[in-house]
Amino acid sequence: MALMSKEESGLRAAEGYAGDVTPVLAYTWWQSEDAVLVDVRTDAEREWVGFIPDTLHVHWKQWPGMELNADFDAELLAAVAQGKKVLFICRSGIRSAAAARRATELGLEAYNVLEGFEGDLDAQSHRGTLGGWRMRGLPWQQG
């Protein structure tokens, strides 16, 4: 039986945090309670675009103006039990990677969810068709 590489298993190396994971691997870890899932998007994004039920929500940036959340460290440390892996998700994987770096600096084992909630832009500049939590058919709801 051949061993899978980290990339084939859904885990990829990253700079400044424990790694990047595919949405499917993130879902597996979260459901098995090996990790907590933290949505770092704004309230507006969660309300208008959709959200993953039963996740933690700690803004990375605040709407409007998209300024860094000055309370991010305290909110995150209060929400996440020591020793738990932390998975960060945002719209496309950019803010969640930054949050994973910061969480690592705070001493947490942090991962970024690749593709984010909505995935990359397609040829028509629309999200939701090229990857992402939602497109992969993982649990989410709207409203």
77-118 pLDDT, tens digit per residue, is: 999 988 899 999 999 889 999 999 999 999 999 999 999 999
Asked, for residue 24, whether it belongs to a domain, the answer is yes
Question: How distant, in Å, are the alpha carbons of 79, 84, 101, 112, 132 from that of 115?
Answer: 24, 22, 17, 9, 5
pTM assigned to the model? 0.91
Asked, for residue 46, whether it belongs to a domain, the answer is yes
Domain of residue 27 covers 16-113
Number of domains observed in the structure of the chain: 1
CA distance 75 to 130: 32
- The answer to whether the CB of 42 falls within 8 A of the CB of 88 is no
Q: Residue 61's domain is classified under what CATH number?
A: 3.40.250.10
Asked, for residue 137, whether it belongs to a domain, the answer is no
Asked, for residue 71, whether it belongs to a domain, the answer is yes
